[in-house]
Structure 1
Amino acid sequence: MTDLLALTAELVDVPSVSFAEAELVALLETELRAVPGLAVDRIGDNLVARTDLGREHRLVLGGHTDTVPGDTSGSRLDGDTLWGLGTADMKGGLAVMLELARTVSEPAVDVTWVFYAREEVAIVHNGLRELFAEAPELLVGDVAILGEPTGGALEAGCQGTMRFEVTMAGARAHTARPWMGRNAVHRLGGLLAALEGYEHREPEVEGCRYREALQAVHVEGGVAGNVVPDRAMMRINHRYAPDRSGAEAEAHVREFLAPFVDGGDTVELVDHSPAAMPGMSHPLLRTLAESNGLEVRAKLGWTDVAFFAEHGVPAVNLGPGEATLAHTADERVERSSVEGCYAALRDLLETGI
């Protein structure tokens, strides 16, 4: 078997900041096209490689090729630890995918390998989104597993996320005569206090416990140092569990906000990415977890598994490295983590259900 940490280092040493993934994609494309029995499609800077063995089930394994901006000088190996931009997020996962594609020649399931661009930027640029829009037939499968860093645990589904802009109206006046106006910034105080005391839900969905949140993330207002402001705006982010639909989550937030807004105010939903159910009832995912003794837990953030869930494909995250190290100056991945994920996924590919 290839030294997986060395393969990870090879991928890390090819810079691939978002929108500049072409060199890495070319390397991956060359490797995949050299694998007998793989049909490879390239759409933009996205690669899809598929087996067509007539198996009963099809497994989709995917990962993004880009990194956030940072130190692109390359990797550094220290014993069994590899340091560098993208080691955890997620070139360790890409190394696992590539090595499996090259070495498992007769999988018990058909496999679709997806290497996609621009995950680390706004969702409108996401390469997986591009693939679903342009060639959804290439992404059909029974189950999808994305290699985001999870420390080798199975993170099932994901919470949805939505952002609101709450604009509160006031009446402008001189600060020497504030009674002649209405201070829009002051009006935010009651809402901020309510958000501080927000009682979040912790629902259990298919054995996974989620934890919702409602947080103020941005406040702006003010005219001048001697003017009572007539407008103030607050952005609020809501993370909601997959037992609620987007419409139900939106209704919940609007009900929460209702006591603090009046006729001159506005509440606008400006961004929404839906939640994804855990999907752990699917036998392929159950087999993966049970055969390898993997911890199964809820994904509290939002990830690209939601794209698959939206198309009826149960999806989870499983990858080497710790998510808490992603995007940091201390980003690194351990040999044991990369090899552990490789072993678990190889077992699934070779044995199926």
Structure 2
Amino acid sequence: MTPDVSTLRDDLVARLLDHCGQVCVTGDEDPIATTVAARYTELGEPVTRVGNSIVVDGRRPGRDAPLVLLVGHLDVVPPTDDDREPRVATIGDTEVVIARGASDMKAGNVIAMAAFEDGELRDTSPYDLALVLYGGEEGGAEDNELREVLDTVPWLTEAALAIVLEPTDGEVQLGCLGGIHAELRFVGQQAHSARPWHGENALTKAGRFLAELHDDHVRDVEVDGIAYRDVWSATMAWTPGLAPRARGDGLEPGERVARPFRNVVPGTFTVNLNLRFAPSRSLEDAEVELRDRVGERAEVTVVDLAPPAPPRLDHPVVRAFVNTVGAPVAAKQAWTDVARFAEVGVPALNYGPGLTAQAHQRGEFAPIDAMVTGHDQLVRFLTTPRS
């Protein structure tokens, strides 16, 4: 069931080089989804395809075993010249695979696929397994196919645990932050900048709030003994205005484009406020908190909402994973698709061999030793009898 270290290492490297060989940017996952579906169809596994997402049903008939989902996404962000061609290299004293998506999150996919394809493991494991490899994760929430997968394959929502193999630096990262994007519109009165007393500068009107945000934007929150952080960030800001562009820049005669005049005191100033909050309260509670903090100082329009996910240390299968794997436990200080599983009542956690600091970097890489360790710890959990 478990090959020697050298054989396992070579196998995982070969798998990752192959998996990264199809650089499928978000929205263009059809080639890699087709390849993965064909692989498991040839292996005789039941495969369901939903858009560019693949579900491989590894449940054994006649068994009354809890279902564990091994979950990863197939898409990547656009490659760079430094990571377009997958290869093995040495960085410092560490042997790595360099490739777009190596850490985020194809190294995780690879250890999941290797475990899933181990027939002896699946025959003797106290758990049934299913492999969920989905598209659209790196794009906008509306393009993420995981929710459609869960709607189309409803038996997935009966799982006892979903292991999302995002990069976690080898930690077990529990739960995830929720997120709100809100546009704060500070309203003044437009005027000529030579006579600002004829109006009210909406930009400087926002100053007190922005200064407050600068001084108080991180708050520690503990949930079930795990330390999360609420983070308030102003990420964008803009003023309105119309100005003609110069000739020769592709515009039709007389055409105008949005651009502020420099000699106008702006009558409105809009700030995008992003609140990332711990799973200590609901999305609705966090929105009330945001609106209360802004108060009457600006008009608030919520433009994006993402629910948090609780750590679920109270769930026996989550606890079994934590106890068996023996890796450090931490909060997921970000949003991940564990939240989508939480929405349908499936306990989920983040655990993967990739490096969080390598996600979306030029020359992205994943350490080979981390893949071997991650595989061994995942297999240990999947083969340890339930208490």
TM-score normalised by length of structure 2: 0.86
Spell out the pairing of 1:185-224 with structure 2 (5 A cutoff): 185-198=203-216, 200-221=218-239, 223=241, 224=261
Runs of 4 or more consecutive aligned structure 1 residues displaced over 4 Å after TM superposition: none
Say if 2:110 is the partner of 1:73. no
- 1:227: which partner in 2? 264
- 2:52: which partner in 1? 45
Q: Measure, in 2, the Cα distance between the counterparts of 1:209 and 1:352.
A: 30
Is the contact between residue 48 and residue 138 of structure 1 (CA under 8 Å) also seen in structure 2? no
The counterpart of 2:370, out of the listed 337, 341, 351, is 337
The counterpart of 1:320, out of the listed 353, 358, 364, is 353
Shift of 1:284: 2.1
Query: How many residue pairs align between the two structures?
Result: 348
The counterpart of 1:274, out of the listed 295, 304, 307, is 307
Report which stretch shifted further, 174-183 or 221-230: 221-230
Say if 2:323 is the partner of 1:290. yes
- 2:244: which partner in 1? none
Larger Rg: 2
Report which stretch shifted further, 25-34 or 148-157: 25-34
Shift of 1:242: 0.4
Q: Measure, in 1, the Cα distance between the counterparts of 2:212 and 2:200.
A: 21
Spell out the pairing of 1:52-201 with structure 2 (5 A cutoff): 52-53=59-60, 54-71=63-80, 73-79=84-90, 80-103=95-118, 104-106=121-123, 107-198=125-216, 200-201=218-219
- 1:27: which partner in 2? 35
Is the contact between residue 288 and residue 344 of structure 1 (CA under 8 Å) also seen in structure 2? no
Provide, for residues 69-128 of structure 1, a one-character-per-residue CA deviation record: whole Å limited to 9, x for no partner: 113632110253111111101111111111111113313211121010110000100011
Is the contact between residue 96 and residue 366 of structure 2 (CA under 8 Å) also seen in structure 1? yes
Provide, for residues 33-54 of structure 1, a one-character-per-residue CA deviation record: whole Å limited to 9, x for no partner: 2345x32211111111122322
Provide, for residues 114-163 of structure 1, a one-character-per-residue CA deviation record: whole Å limited to 9, x for no partner: 01011000010001122123333334301111110111110101010001
The aligned amino acid for 1:29 is A
Q: Measure, in 1, the Cα distance between the counterparts of 2:236 and 2:22.
A: 36
Report which stretch shifted further, 325-334 or 131-140: 131-140
Counting aligned pairs with the same residue, the percent is 32
Q: Measure, in 2, the Cα distance between the counterparts of 1:249 and 1:193.
A: 21
The aligned amino acid for 1:233 is T
Shift of 1:66: 0.5
Q: Measure, in 2, the Cα distance between the counterparts of 1:73 and 1:286.
A: 39
Shift of 1:271: 0.5
Is the contact between residue 149 and residue 318 of structure 1 (CA under 8 Å) also seen in structure 2? yes
Provide the aligned C-alpha RMSD in A: 1.6
